[in-house]
Chains A and B, each alone.
Chain A
Amino acid sequence: MRSIALRRRHPAAGYAVVLAGLVIAGLCYAAVTGIGAASAASQRVSGGPLIAEGRNLFLQECSSCHGYFAQGTPSGPSLIGVGAAAVDFQVSTGRMPAKELGPEQPRKVVTLRPQQIRALAAYIAALGGGPAIPTKADVSQVGADTGLGQQLFVADCAQCHNFVGAGGALTYGKFAPPLTKATPRQVFEAMLTGPEAMPVFNDTTITPQQKRDIIAYIAASRSEPNPGGFSLGRVGPVTEGLVAFLGLLLFMVFAAMWITAKHGKSHE
């Protein structure tokens, strides 16, 4: 005690006290929030180099919303048990990582490389299982029944995604996206995992073969010709009426104005 009392007027004493205070505060914070435990937990699941890479990516790109454990926060849902297929769908369509929070994440440019997506998917799968990424054979269109696919699509998909997959509106700003750009693997993953508001169609409800049939119908409907001329988004009479009303009626109004316009000279 005496030596401390003697050294308290030492020029470095103030710095030493501040440093000690910071260390104690940091330890208390770590104890309360569990950062150290989080990194320890993350390290426990690192089973291989792919998963380790995925964990690093997750901490960089995803953990601010989904939490350090992928346990979910008010900004993002828990990812434990969602499976590799859900990760592959969300990231390979560019929906995740999200730019901003909103009612629904739109499809956008993919920011991660395929290898990074695989690593991320492996890490999330290692956290709690879930559906795996479908293989090429899983989404093969060889021998698919487009007719049955259409029946299934009309029964369970068309109410939201429109009869030809043009998409449609849902409640409170959510929407069912158009299926014009989705790859067969992404459609398969969406049915399997039910991203965002979409219901889940698991393999015992809609069998993998039926999923392939549905994908075949979606692919076939994209190349259907438009006998009427323009497709107008293929969303039915609403756009056709809108085009007729706004386009043609406006044209008629301007034509009428032109026909009845008065020449300046005739009134002099």
Chain B
Amino acid sequence: MSDSTAGPRPGDSEQDGGQLARQAGSEPGETGPTELRKRIIGTPPPAEARSMLGTPEPGTAGAPPVPRPRELPADPQNMAAAKRAERIVAACFVIATLAGVGFIAAYVIFPVHSILRAQHSNWALGLTMSLVFLALAAGAVFWVRNVMPHVELTEARKPLRSAEEDRAAFEASFEEGTQASQIVKRPLLRRTLIAASVPAAIAPILLLRDLGPLPRGTLDHTVWRRGLRLLNYGGNTPIRPGDFSSPGGMVTVVPDGYQDDFNALAKAACIIIKFAPGQIDFTSASHPVPGKVVENWTVNNIVAYSKICTHVGCPAALYEQTTHHILCPCHQSTFDATRGAKVIFGPATRALPQLPMTVDAQGYLVARHDFTEPVGPSFWERGTTV
């Protein structure tokens, strides 16, 4: 590389360029000034400008000083295209100006007192503002691409390490400050300062306590209890089995007295489904544990399942009366309502818990007791407390 006598190649590094430039300066006969590569903006000037070889003694070489090459051509290659581009850029900027004025006008014109007016305001403000930025950016790009001359530029990176004299100066200054503060000589100051920083450092860790308290047993139980009526959610009326009588029916039910308690409903919401006689198949085949049989807590072919999906707790209530599938819309967990809400597809791993039901003295559907297992998704302590 260093013994190369050919003209500079585009792939040569900066160091090689300098080498070549030095050779050019010392041996003018071989490479003329026209063959010098263009100075690259942001890079050190060519070697002859700050030659480390020293200035050639007058009269010895007789080489004329190499003129510093221009960094950028003054004009673009294609003047006609540049003229055209100039008009486009100016048009972009005019559009940006008008859009900016339009933005201000839209802000004044459209008050936001109603949703309908907010819609118009959002439309106008959003469109004008994006037009401002779009036109400015497009104009800038046209400017750079068609008006400015085209040259490839590379920029050398500064070394990350500070200069030696800066490092020495900092060291001296630090040493001076240490001496002046007398922190080494005065242990009382030093130790009390360290002591002051300790509680301040511990305090943020202590604040993590506010992430608690742990839910403990609250996730294991819902508000359902013996004798609590099932209300048809929305209308909040109790339900007689004789009224909820059409096979293929399904409604959301909530515990009586908790219809407005969203914290309670987050765990206690259920759906009830009415089947035609003979459709329910609560046998051992449905139960995931061999030998156990799905509990049959139904009333008149009405069954109640938790509405909270056992995967991550979405409301699983997309009931298809043709297939008897209960689908969870979040991750497509699918449960078979005729077989104890057994999982037949999707990421859920447990059946939807069944709410034990019976009928009270007035003939309305009531809970027999709470669910016999925690509803909803898995949690850390699930199964450890009862």
Contacts and interface: CB of A to CB of B under 8 A. Distances in A.
Interface string A114-155: 000000000000000000000000000000000010011011
A227 B115 contact: yes
Interface residues of B, number: 48
A87 B122 CA distance: 46
Contacts of B323: 171-172, 197
B126 interface: yes
A266 B150 contact: yes
A33 interface: no
Q: Is the interface of A mostly helix, strand, loop or mixed?
A: loop
Interface stretch (A8-16, A20-28, A49-57, A205-213): A205-213
A159 interface: yes
A247 interface: no
Interface in A187-237: 194, 196-202, 204-207, 210, 224-229
B97 interface: no
Contact of B318 (A159, A227, A255): A159
B325 interface: yes
A170 B150 CA distance: 58
Interface stretch (B58-66, B245-253, B375-383): B245-253
B93 interface: no
A85 to B, nearest CB: 12
A99 interface: no
B309 to A, nearest CB: 11
Interface residues of A, number: 40
Interface string B108-120: 0000000110110
Interface in B218-274: 232-235, 239-240, 242-252, 273-274
Interface of B: 77-78, 115-116, 118-119, 122-123, 126, 137, 141, 145, 150-152, 232-235, 239-240, 242-252, 273-274, 315, 317-323, 325, 327, 329, 332, 334, 345
11 contacts: A156-B251, A168-B318, A170-B327, A199-B321, A200-B248, A201-B251, A202-B245, A202-B246, A204-B243, A225-B116, A263-B145
Interface of A: 148, 151-152, 154-156, 159-160, 168, 170-172, 174, 176, 194, 196-202, 204-207, 210, 224-229, 255, 258-259, 261, 263, 265-266
